[in-house]
Amino acid sequence: MASQRKFVVGGNWKMNGNKSSIDGIISFLNGGQLDENTEVIVAPPAAYLDYVRSNVNASVAVAAQNCYKVASGAFTGEISASMIKDIGADWVILGHSERRHVFGETDELIGEKVKFALSQGLKVIACIGEKLEEREAGQTNDVVFRQTKAIADNIGAEDWSRVVIAYEPVWAIGTGKTATPDQAQAVHKDLRDWITQNVSADIAQNVRIQYGGSVNAKNCVELAAKPDIDGFLVGGASLKPDFVTIVNARKA
Ligand code: PGA
């Protein structure tokens, strides 16, 4: 049941911030009363990963927003899993819808990135989610199952404990249009059933599935009450003190 899975809330800062605004975020994170039963992860832009890791409390984990599928080399503009580890961060977000739809990342590439990041000892937030036209065409499950399969095929049984799935319907990201708690719960439940059938019942029971897409301080409590919603991946609201309220959604 949901209660056995530790609630996990990530803040995806995307391409936002500077040292001064990041100092503000660090101060509300370090000064806020964050629920000890919630795992908290923040994902600053790559340029600030080291700064954030050095300044935010140790209880807050740090994630990169992306990394490449090989160890090092002539890949201008990319960062590697070992660099993320080297500065003391533990997590990486992979397959975010902006990586898929703005930068053209394919299911195949995302699968390769997940596999390599896990092999290097990182923990992974792997993102999936349908576009509006796919939902309207009744293809939501087809899309999220296809995306999940491309990820799951690259995760060894022993590595699933280092993976969180983030279900983020593309039409809800940055739009102020949240999936209703029932809409989100339905997809999370279907996903967990898919994992039961295609990976294992044990992994399905234990893997955490975050919801993402316009989560805010007002809608988080109702979403957090759903049995298959094990946390959030938060964009816009993660830049504001509201993020502390969202982290504490299960406590409210
Ligand atoms: P949003 O972004 O909360 O601003 O909708 C969520 C995300 O992209 O992870």
E strand or H helix at 144: helix 140-152
Q: Is residue 252 part of a domain?
A: no
From 215, 219, 239, the mutation candidate for ligand 1 (largest count of ligand atoms within 8 A of CB) is 215
pLDDT of residue 113: 98
Predicted local confidence at residue 24, as pLDDT = 98
With 70 as the cut, is the pLDDT of residue 1 above it?
Answer: no
Going by C-alpha positions, the residue among 43, 47, 58 that lies closest to residue 19 is 47
Report how many domains make up the chain: 1
Average pLDDT over residues 200-228: 97
Active site residue 188: no
Residue nearest atom 7 in ligand 1 by C-alpha distance: 235
Cα–Cα distance measured from residue 220 to residue 151, given in angstroms and rounded to the nearest whole number = 27
State which residues form the domain around 149. 2-247
105 is catalytic: no
What pTM was computed for the model? 0.97
Q: What is the CATH number of the domain that holds 229?
A: 3.20.20.70
Residue 196 maps to a domain: yes
Give the model confidence (pLDDT) of 106-146 as tens digits. 999 999 999 999 999 999 999 999 999 999 999 999 999 99
Residue 221 falls inside a structural domain: yes
Q: Is residue 177 over pLDDT 90?
A: no
Give Cα separations from 172 to 6, 91, 169, 183 (angstroms).
24, 24, 5, 12
pLDDT in tens, 2-55: 448 999 999 999 999 999 999 999 999 999 899 999 999 999 999 999 999 999
Q: Which residues pair with 94 in a beta bridge?
A: 126
C-beta 223 within 6 A of ligand 1:
no
What is the chain's mean pLDDT, rounded? 97
Q: How many A from CA of 171 to the centre of ligand 1?
A: 10
